[in-house]
Structure 1
Amino acid sequence: MGRANGNENVHGLSLISVTDLHAFPMVSVVEVGTTGGCSMTERASLQSGEPATAPMSMSTVDTATLAKAIEASSVGMIVTDAAGDRPILYANDAFLRMTGYPREEVLGRSCRFLQGSDTSKEALQEIADALRQEREVFTELVNYRKDGSTFWNLLHICPIHDESGRVTFYFGYQRDITQRKETEEALQQALRLEALGKLTGGVAHDYNNLLQVIQTSLEVIELGVSANEDIARRTSTTMAACHRAIERATLLTKQLMVFAKRQTFTSQPIDANVLLERLHGVLTRALGEEIRVKLYLEPELWHCVADPAQAEPIIINIAINARDAMKGRADQRLDISTFNRELSAKDARRFNIVPARYVELVLSDNGPGIPQGILGRVLDPFFTTKTEGKGAGLGLSVAYGFARQSGGTLYIDSKEGVGTAIHILLPYTEAPVNADQKKADRQGTAPQPRILLVEDRSDVATITKQMLDLLGYRTAIANDADSALQMLAPSGAYDLILSDVVMPGSMNGVMLARTAMQRYPHLKVLLVTGYAQGNDSEDLEFPVLGKPYRHADLARKLRELLYTQTAVAH
């Protein structure tokens, strides 16, 4: 019905003769005067955003030239019969490139072969309604290529009428807008996370106020019951449990503040390559021998701006997430790469950051990948696929907050069955890396410092040692000051003492530090405390880290102390 005669194959117009194009009703697409049809000029105007010019006519453009123009277009174009299942009569090269099908697998078939499970039912119904009413339709939908991959299709279908006004053909053109849709989706996610961050920051602030009330109330109760030894003894376990819970809650709110970009950062120029080289050994030990950790570093990597003490635990946490995801799979590997990247205005809009130079860190695993259904939610705080008690769901959201507060961003590429890649973009800087970091950088290939951890609480000692091990330090534990002095003798074979201020026995942490420094002047000391007691608390001559402290706080403090000199005990 309504199909043109001839079966020549000139300029790809199989089933339609170019020499007969002047008689083919497709001319209605070109001429504005067609009732209910589509003007080629009008459609081109819609796509380009330019004002429509005067319509072309067959008197100024011959049929062969028109055919060549259609065939050379970057826009996919097809002509279908209006009868039956509306088989495709013509498809230009752009359509074939877009879909991946050869011409012989396209001609004579209904367009339904491009549809799949992710194709919008609403869009298909919109098209069906328009065809039934013999009117044009303009829509966006997901189509499938021959290889099974998907693309977003900006589709426009126009009816073509003959001289009597009867619809005999349909002309359709389509444009691959996948990149535009991905950019829109990424921007929406960035805006959503920004809004969520503002809400989270407010909640965390209020939560910290509540924690302060609870903490102070507990300390008041402890002071009140301390005079009664029996009550103090019976409540000590409960009080200790409450303090531990407050410490965990405090850490949680600090992580939320990082996501909300309200945490105090000490940003500075860093060499990401050196940071990763220093962490390589830490990651290898932390992830276990089953996982191969390999670095692929850009030799001429730019310097970038970040807080290294924040970056280190974030990279470690992402690596541990990868380890958990790969558990039970053969040939487990984590590849860490760095790149120089100059972000165009188009890409910058996608990530909602400024177009500029960035240093890109990519952590790629070969785990199971993240299902598409939850990929858009994994940066949300508290979102986790782990079982209860195995994770708070803050790791990636904190990493995202770190990247955003640094002036960059974080995004995720993942394919089920293949693996996941976490991309961190950090802003470029021309500033040189400062001397302190260079000392720490050189230390990365030297023997790791030895730390003597002095802590009478076994649970605190165990978790602190794990943290120090992850940071790459060689750590030993002493349960009291006397044991610590015995372990230091005779040569003081440690680089730093990390001790609680409040200790059992006759010697507290301050007294231990003074004695150790007198005997071994090379030693560094870092004291930690939730609260200090006695006169020694008023004017401590040693650095103090208050509890609860963050992994990043401890890492920064240790680096400041240890890398002011190069001597390391072996």
Structure 2
Amino acid sequence: MKLRGLLTLAMIAQVVVTAVALLASQAVTGTGFGLAQIIALTVSGAVALLLARVCMRAIETSQNKRVAAQLAEQAQVGAQLTQAVIKTALDAFVQTDERGIVLEWSLQAEALTGWTRKEALGSDVVDLLIAEPLREGFRQRMMRLLPELSNAPIGIRFEASLVHRNGEAILIEASSTSLHLGGRHLINTFVKDVTRRHAAEEQLIQAQKMEAVGQLTGGIAHEFNNMLTVITGTIEILADAVKDNPPLATITKLISEAADRGAALTSSLLSFARKQALQPAEIDVNELLEELAKLLLATFDKKIEIVTKLDAKAWLAFADRGQLSAALLNLAINARDAMLAGGRLTLTTRNVVFGVREAVAVGAGYAGDYVEIEIADTGSGIPPAILERIFDPFFSTKDVGKGTGLGLSMVFGFVKQSGGGIKVASEERRGTTFTIYLPKAETSTLRPAGYDERKIVGGRETILCVEDDNDVRQYVTVQLESLGYKVIPAANAAEALAVAAEGKTFDLLFTDIVMAGGMNGRELAEQMVAARPSLRVLFTSGYAYDSLHAQGRATLDAPLLTKPYRKAELARMLRRSLDTAVDSAGDAIPTPYSVQADVEGFLRRQATEDNSRPRSRK
């Protein structure tokens, strides 16, 4: 506007100067304002107008160039900002045209797919990233999405399975938007790798499913154990009564054996449900696998090669030795069944240290030190369609009558209950590898002293028996009285507390752990021991794991008698609980017998030293 104002002033000045010149010429010559002066003035005005128009066009051209330069600079800055956003974004960026030809490929896209920018530009994105059998279907899907993408200002979001350059599958989440630029149709896509997240979600769903099934299975097994406790116990009484009648004795034996099979079945169910009471201790896994290898060499077909690769520096594991042996034998038998034509079974141990992510990936309880046990075969492998179901209870691919479907369920439950993890990798016609992770043993754990199970020893003490199942309570009362004990029965914790409040004396509290009525056996024992520190406690349950692992300090060392049990086991556990001497505060009292062997050894050494010492002559 300033330039235009100056131009206008210049024109006015030109007209004024021209008029002054003409007037001056007239004054000098004395002639009037004639035609010649008018023509001169008109020409001058025309020249002025032409000059003004030329100047204005020059000004407009200059301004247009300046605006264009500013727009170009802004576009360049915008492009730089866009590139900066793409380069610093956490997700990969891919730009294609409507045919799928790659126009832009970020560094994150290189890291995600393995293809460099130079290799990707100009290539068909479907050929680069989609498995060959799926390419045609993917293209058709993209063509159907293009109109929807053009009409969606915020774009669309979808998931897809891509293939890395090295052949690995990648699950991605993509967000695409459409852009029309210069007559071209561009598709901008940000891609995020969600493979790990998806695996974690699947693992969570599987864990929730297994937990739900485990809760149901454990509850059913608990009820069966109550019934089996009565059956296995009373059959002993019947067997003793009909021992002189061979036909009836045979029948009682059949019933007893059937009850034992039922007990074994519920034990497997509880193991899967992670409700089995374990006795964890330090285990030398190398020693255990060497024993297993000897057993397998002696029993497996010679066409199966047994190979051990044991880390000499493997840590001690903390788990139940018997349950671990059963789990490893189960896996070995499954491997044998998968190698009917022969093959190789490899047993491996090593130490591993897990961070949080690694521990979650294998389903371990926490980050830390673990002992890894690997059992690998070269058998037929497991089809992918059933791989996710192999740990489900009663799921089996064997012929009817050749398996219960509880083997792998038991292994899974035992490992998880032990605070470890398990994973399986399998490929059809190549073999299967099961890998177990068990927590490293931190401190030594003493095993309880054994008892002679062949000898049934009773007593004359008084026992407060707390059991909410009426049949089990009656059976236990009969068995306890047959062993010579005085029994005070109680149907629940409230009745037991009422007995204690009345001041009745009793030497041992024998209580079920899982009971109805609000207070379980553990809480009852804690309350009673707080009032009577010298009171002995014996727990019993067919569903004991959770309650025992939440117990208080006062009953930390109280033994557990698992259901179903027989009279001999009941008698042994009662004496184990009653024969440990304790003082009024509930602390163990060393008995003379506990140090007798050391005393005698000391005296023998002293006598030997005295005899070997030369005697001085007087």
Q: TM-score range by the shorter chain?
A: 0.5 to 0.7
Question: Do the aligned partners of residues 110 and 123 (structure 1) sit closer, same or farther apart at CA in structure 2, a change above 3 Å counting?
Answer: closer
2:201 to 169, 179, 184: 184
- Cα deviation, 1:515-541, whole Å, max 9, x if unaligned, reads xxxxxxxxxxxxxxx9789xxx9999x
Give the 3 Å change call, closer, same or farther, for CA 384–428 of structure 1 in structure 2: same
TM-score (norm 2): 0.54
The residue number in structure 2 matching 1:152 is 171
Q: Please, which moves more after superposition, 294-303 or 385-394?
A: 294-303
In the alignment, does 2:103 pair up with 1:86?
Answer: no
SS class of match (1:142):
strand
Q: Which of residues 287, 290, 296 is equivalent to 1:274?
A: 287
Give the 3 Å change call, closer, same or farther, for CA 264–119 of structure 1 in structure 2.
farther
1:168 matched to which residue of 2?
Answer: 185
Equivalent pair of 2:315/2:351 in contact (CA under 8 Å): yes
Matches within 5 A, 1:476-487: none
Partners of 1:292 and 1:277 in 2: CA distance: 14
Deviations 1:529-569 (A, max 9, x none): x9789xxx9999x99xxxxxxxxxxxxxxxxxxxxxxxxxx
Structure 1: segments with no counterpart, 5+ residues: 1-56, 438-529, 544-570
- State the partner residue of 1:504: none
Map of 1:340 onto structure 2: 351
- 2:448 & 2:257 partners in 1: Cα distance? 34
Query: Which of 421, 427, 438 does residue 433 from structure 2 map onto?
Result: 421
Residues 1:402 and 1:123: Cα distance change in structure 2 (over 3 Å): farther
In the alignment, the residues of structure 2 paired with residue 96 and residue 67 of structure 1 have an alpha-carbon distance, to the nearest angstrom, of: 15
Match of 2:214 among 187, 190, 197: 197
Aligned to 1:211: 228
Moved more, 414-423 or 305-314: 414-423
- Shift of the 59–357 alpha-carbon distance from structure 1 to 2, 3 Å rule, reads same
Contact 1:123–1:141 under 8 Å retained in 2: no
CA contact (8 A) 1:114 1:145 kept: yes
Change (3 A) 1:315 1:118: farther
Choose which of 288, 310, 335 in structure 1 pairs with 2:301. Answer: 288
CA shift in 2, pair 1:78/1:248, >3 Å: same
Based on CA coordinates, which of the two structures has the bigger radius of gyration? 2
* SS of match in other structure, 1:404: helix
Report 1:237-252 matches (<5 A). 238-252=251-265
> What number of residue pairs does the alignment pair up?
382
Report 1:352-391 matches (<5 A). Answer: 353-391=365-403
1:119 touches 1:141 (CA, 8 Å); kept in 2?
no
Q: Cα offset for 1:222?
A: 5.8
Residue of structure 1 equivalent to 2:313: 300
Q: Please give the per-residue CA displacement for 1:396-434, whole angstroms capped at 9, x wherever unaligned.
A: 111111112211122212223322211111112332476
Q: Distance in 2 between matches of 1:210 and 1:197?
A: 20
Deviations 1:471-490 (A, max 9, x none): xxxxxxxxxxxxxxxxxxxx
Change (3 A) 1:278 1:539: closer
Is the 8 Å Cα contact of residues 137 and 156 (structure 1) preserved in structure 2? yes
For 2:411 and 2:222, the matched residues in 1 are separated by 20
Quote the Cα distance in structure 1 between the aligned partners of 2:436 and 2:335: 15
Aligned-partner Cα distance in 2 for 1:357–1:237: 53
SS in 1 for 2:338: helix
The structural deviation recorded for 1:224 is 7.5
Percent identity for Structure 1 against Structure 2: 30
Give CA-to-partner distance per residue, 1:4-59, whole Å, 9 cap, x none.
xxxxxxxxxxxxxxxxxxxxxxxxxxxxxxxxxxxxxxxxxxxxxxxxxxxxx755
8 A Cα contact 2:281 2:447, kept in partner: no
Q: Which of 405, 410, 413 is the equivalent residue of 2:422?
A: 410
Alpha carbons of structure 1 residues 354 and 325: separation in structure 2 relative to 1, 3 Å: same
Q: 1:236 to 1:365 in 2, by over 3 A?
A: same
* Cross-structure match for 2:122: 107
Residue identity opposite 1:131 in structure 2: L
- Partners of 2:393 and 2:249 in 1: how far apart? 34
1:317 and 2:334 equivalent?
Answer: no
Distance (Å, rounded) in 1 between the aligned partners of 2:279 and 2:371: 18
CA distance in 2, matches of 1:67, 1:289: 66
Aligned equivalents of 1:293 and 1:409: distance in 2?
A: 24
1:446-457 residue pairs with structure 2 within 5 A? none
Pair 242,362 (structure 1): closer, same or farther in 2 beyond 3 Å: same
Aligned to 2:480: none
What's the CA shift for 1:303?
A: 2.5
Instruction: Provide the aligned C-alpha RMSD in A.
Output: 4.1
Residue of structure 1 equivalent to 2:470: none
Partner of 2:410: 398
Q: Aligned letter for 1:79?
A: Q
Mean alpha-carbon deviation: is it higher for 102-111 or for 264-273? Answer: 102-111
> Residue 441 of structure 1 corresponds to which residue in structure 2?
none
1:532/1:210 Cα in 2 relative to 1: closer, same or farther (>3 Å)?
closer
Q: Which residue pairs with 1:43 in the alignment?
A: none
Per-residue CA distance 1:32-90 (angstroms, 9 max, x = gap): xxxxxxxxxxxxxxxxxxxxxxxxx7554664x865885787743321112xx433334
CA contact (8 A) 1:270 1:433 kept: no
How far does residue 387 in structure 1 lie from its aligned partner after superposition?
0.8
How far apart are the structure 1 equivalents of 2:296 and 2:417? 25
SS in 2 for 1:323: helix
- Comparing 183-192 with 258-267, greater Cα deviation is found at 183-192
State the secondary structure of the residue aligned to 1:377: coil
CA distance in 2, matches of 1:295, 1:349: 28
In the alignment, which residue of structure 1 is the partner of 2:63? none
**What TM-score comes out, normalization by structure 1 length?**
0.58
The answer as to whether partners of 2:101 and 2:124 remain within 8 angstroms in 1 is yes
Separation in structure 1 between the aligned mates of residue 235 and residue 222 of structure 2, nearest angstrom? 20
Checking the alignment, whether the CA contact within 8 Å between 2:93 and 2:108 is kept in structure 1 is: yes
1:429 counterpart SS class: coil
> Residue 270 of structure 1 contacts residue 308 of structure 1 at CA under 8 Å; is this kept in 2?
yes
Distance (Å, rounded) in 1 between the aligned partners of 2:261 and 2:368: 39
The answer to whether the 8 A contact 2:126-2:139 is kept is no
